[in-house]
Amino acid sequence: MSKIRERQFDHQGDLTAPTPDTQHWVVYTQKKADSPFKWAGSLNAPDLELAMQFAGEHYGLDEACVALIAHHADYLTDGPCGKTPLLPSDASGSDGSSWTVFTLPRRGGNLQQAGTVNAPDAETAIDRATAEFANGKIHQIRVVPSDKIYMMSSKSELVWRLHDMDYKFAKGYSKGVRSKWTRIRDSKEYEEYRKEDIHKHF
């Protein structure tokens, strides 16, 4: 065994506290003011503060948005996802706390914020949300306690890309390539090149 491996290390004092385990958080973004928040993805973070920071850095950088909301994954309750659109139930009532309702407009799509209902528990919230928001056009309902949802807005914090990153998207890449080509060729030559390129690859 080498001398390095034979060395004995003495530790002075207590070891530092371990890093907290990460938790799962769900994020929704708002593309334009007054538009509904739509599911964007999820992330892992040890606490709310870092969850919101990570959400702003990642989802605010990944797409243009004016605000985002997030909640711990443990607080969401999903209703069944139907193969056919959901029809309204006959549930009624307004007792209990506020629950934020998210609806799925189509299978394979993204959940989006629809409104709120009051209910004493998650199951009742699903029933009352189905009565209020199911209109034969949505396939699933999610409810989350409204007081467990946290918001980050561009009015108070930075939820935006600091520089132009449109090149990350297909439409932005096409626009960027076009601007570079037209610096050395005219628009007609570029269009001929584009048609030929699309034909070869598709």
Residue 74 lies in a domain: yes
Percent of the chain's residues with pLDDT above 70: 70
**Residue 155: Cβ within 10 Å count:** 9
Residues 106, 171, single domain; the answer is: no
Mean pLDDT, the chain, rounded, equals: 82
Task: Give the residue among 67, 68, 73 at the shortest CA–CA distance from 148.
Answer: 73
**β-pair partners for 102:** 113, 142
Average pLDDT on 56-60 reads 79
Residue 8 lies in a domain: no
Name the strand (E) or helix (H) holding 30. Answer: strand 23-30
Is the pLDDT reported for residue 11 higher than 90?
A: no
Residues 43, 119, single domain; the answer is: yes
Is the pLDDT reported for residue 94 higher than 80?
A: yes
Instruction: Give helix 187-201 / helix 170-184 axis angle, nearest 10°.
Output: 130
Is the pLDDT reported for residue 65 higher than 60?
A: yes
Average pLDDT on 167-181 reads 60
The reported pTM is 0.71
Residues 101, 148, single domain; the answer is: yes
Residues 137, 50, single domain; the answer is: yes
pLDDT of residue 169: 57
Name the strand (E) or helix (H) holding 112. Answer: strand 112-119
Q: Which of 153, 174, 189 is the last residue of a domain?
A: 153
In tens, the pLDDT along 74-89 reads 999 999 887 899 999 9
Residue 5 lies in a domain: no
User: How many domains does the chain contain in total?
Assistant: 2
pLDDT of residue 149: 97
Residues 40, 63, single domain; the answer is: yes
pLDDT of residue 201: 43
Average pLDDT on 183-202 reads 60
Q: Could you give the CA distance from residue 116 to residue 113 in angstroms, rounded to a whole number?
A: 9
3-state secondary structure of 21: coil
Is the pLDDT reported for residue 202 higher than 60?
A: no
Average pLDDT on 101-118 reads 93
Residue 1 lies in a domain: no
If one compares 198 and 120, the residue with the highest pLDDT of the two is 120
Q: Please, which pLDDT band fits residue 98 given cuts at 50, 70 and 90? A: very high
Residues 136, 173, single domain; the answer is: no
pLDDT of residue 184: 60
Q: Please, which pLDDT band fits residue 60 given cuts at 50, 70 and 90? A: low
Q: Please, which pLDDT band fits residue 187 given cuts at 50, 70 and 90? A: low
* Residue-number span of the structural domain to which 141 is assigned: 23-153
